[in-house]
Structure 1
Amino acid sequence: MADLLILKQAEEFRKEYFHRNRQAEENRQKETQAAIRIQSWFRACKVRAYLSHLQKKAIIIQKTWRGFAARARVRQMVKAAYFTVKMNFYNEMAVRIQQRWKGFYVRKYVHNFYARKTYLEQILIKNELVRKELDEIWEAQKRENEHLEAVKQQKNKIHQAHQLHYLISTNQLPGVFNSPYRQTPHEMELLLRQVKYQVPASLAHKDTGYPRGIRDSVGVSFSGCLESEGPISTRTWDLRTRLPPIASRNTRQKTKRL
């Protein structure tokens, strides 16, 4: 009985085993698809969680870096703004100092009233000295011109005396310039007496034997005709426009009083 019962149980177990295997084979594909879907969903959740974690960490890193970079830029901007404010302050103070110094320098050395007044007075004094020197130069030049004119006139008189030497007075006959009605002889008569007779150039070759046209080396023997009244200046004067003479300060004061 026991063996029969065991056989029945084994038969039932085998049938149930095959039945369950057949059901398992029938549901294998469906269960595989379900397992795949579960696994894909789980893996997707896991990946999404990991990506979310990475995104959060990346956000933290980016936030930290951007904050650091922004704070560095702000520090640079603050430094630049402070430097600009400081330089503007220094420039303004430098401008004020330069204004004070330039004002002092101009008032003391450039537009000094008393210095300018002294300068103008010195210019007036120098102007008077220059005018005085110009007047002296003009007077000296005038005297020199008068002396040269006198010498020229004396030379002309001597030349005329050479040409009129035949009119000199003699012991027997008075000359034209020695009138008996004059108390003293004429100036030309005195000049004729002092000048020696000069042989004409046309007759010089007959007496001396020299070729015609060469004059005798013995010329005028009148020693006092070319003597100057004073020393002749060899200085060349500048022929500028002569300014009118300026009265001295004492003369102007006397004129004002009158």
Structure 2
Amino acid sequence: DMAELLKIKSEAEDFQSEYFYRNSQAEEKRQKENQAATQIQSWFRACKVRAYFSHLHKKAVIIQKIWRGFTARARFRQMVKAAYFIMKMNFYEEMAVRIQRRWRGFFVRKYIHNFYARKSYLEGLFRKNELVRRELDELEELQKRERDCLEMVKEQTAKVYQAYRLHHLLSTKQCPGVFNSPFRSAPHEMEQLLRQVKYQAPTRLAPGGRACLLGMPGPAAPSFSGTLGSPWIKTTQTRCSSRPILPPIGSKKQQVRW
């Protein structure tokens, strides 16, 4: 028993010395271990916080994605509604324009511009135009004939005046004239004209007598109303003076436009 007691006592002393040794070692390394534990705890807490922040970031991204999708779909629905409304309004406006165009055309054709009245008016205008053109053509032809007649009368008057000036060349029973050559089968036209013109005593030559000597009557030339007994001249004057009377051009009241 004594041996066991001594053994226990020695073990207690060893335990006590070991305890004090370890306590001294622990006291020496307490500061370093405390710093290491603090560093480990800070690192662990940082890992936890970073993991939590990463988790929150992922959830925030999911929430933002869902919210942005929702807002984008809502905005797209609004845009679709606006586009559909604009399309309907454009369609309604186009249909309204077509209806107004048809109605205005019907109203104008029925109450303002009558198609059949305008057609009859244009047909009458066409007939009147043809009549006026025909009358103008006849008038032009008549004026042309009058000018030709005046030229012929002037030429015949010049010939008569020349015959008056050359009346001394008329043939006689004893001596044939210049225009009645015995070598001709028939007398010259001037010979016939000299026989029709009566002789008049010559008067004093006017300042324009040079033109008269050339065969053209001047302003002071004597009148041959009594000597122009040629039936051709009378017939020509009668035909030239007969001018047809044109029918009056009636005026038609045009259609009133509102």
Residue 157 in structure 1 maps to residue 160 in structure 2 = yes
Within the alignment, does 1:224 sit opposite 2:224 as a pair? yes
Q: Is the 8 A contact 1:168 1:176 kept in 2?
A: yes
- 2:164–2:194 Cα contact (<8 Å) kept: yes
Sequence identity (%): 7
Gaps of at least 5 residues in structure 1 are: 1-8, 178-185, 200-214, 234-258
* 1:194 is the counterpart of 2:207: no
2:141 to 128, 138, 142: 138
Distance 1:190 1:23, change over 3 A: closer
**Which residue of 51, 54, 75 maps to 1:51?**
54
Secondary structure of 1:127's partner? helix
2:72 aligned with 1:72: no
Q: C-alpha separation between the residues in 1 aligned to 2:110 and 2:69?
A: 60
Cα gap change, 1:107/1:174 in structure 2, threshold over 3 Å: closer, same or farther?
A: farther
Distance 1:194 1:151, change over 3 A: farther
Cα distance change on mapping 1:68 and 1:191 into 2, 3 Å: same
Paired residue type of 1:191:
V
Report the more deviating stretch, 217-226 or 59-68: 217-226
Corresponding pairs, count: 197
Letter in 2 for 1:131: R
**Which residue of the other structure, out of 89, 95, 99, is the alignment partner of 1:96?**
99
**Normalized against structure 1, the TM-score is what?**
0.53
Unaligned runs of 5+ in 2: 1-11, 178-191, 241-258
Question: Which residue does the alignment assign to 1:83?
Answer: 86
1:160 deviation in Å?
3.5
- Give matches, 1:1-258, under 5 Å: 13-21=16-24, 40-102=43-105, 105=108, 112-167=115-170, 188-189=194-195, 191-194=197-200, 196=202, 222-224=222-224
Helix, strand or coil at the partner of 2:223: coil
Report the aligned-residue RMSD. Answer: 4.9
Shift of 1:165: 0.9
1:143: how far off? 3.1
Q: Equivalents in 2 of 1:97, 1:156: separation in Å?
A: 81
SS of the residue corresponding to residue 197 of structure 2 reads: helix
Shift of 1:44: 2.0
| Residue 128 to residue 54, structure 1, CA distance change in 2 (3 Å) | closer
1:35 and 1:148 map into 2 onto residues whose CA distance is 145
